[in-house]
Amino acid sequence: MDDILTPFVRDKGYDWEVSNDETPFDLWSLQGEIPPSFESTAEKRWVKENKASPYTLPEKLPLKLVLVLSPGVTGC
């Protein structure tokens, strides 16, 4: 990364800092939307569409949990 930034930052006399974090989901958002739960329907849609978008409560639940809570589904 430093090699990429050097001509635009260091060579022009600027200081810079690069930081990589795994920030908890409830502390960040994309386009104003808090990221959906891991392995949820909404997360899969975000990945497929390659963008953030609003989602409903059922879409926020993990897929396995949705199957367990769905009427008429035994989970066997």
pLDDT digits (tens, 9 = 90+) for 22-60: 888 778 888 889 899 888 999 999 999 999 999 998 888
Q: How many domains does the chain have?
A: 1
Look up the domain containing 37 and give its range. Answer: 2-69
User: Which of 8-22, 28-42, 58-72 has the weakest average pLDDT?
Assistant: 58-72
Q: What is the pLDDT of residue 53?
A: 93
In a domain, 75, yes or no: no
Cβ-contact 34, 26 below 8 angstroms: yes
User: What global pTM score does this model have?
Assistant: 0.55
Residue 74 has pLDDT above 80, yes or no: no
In a domain, 76, yes or no: no
How remote is the C-alpha of 55 from its chain's centroid? 13
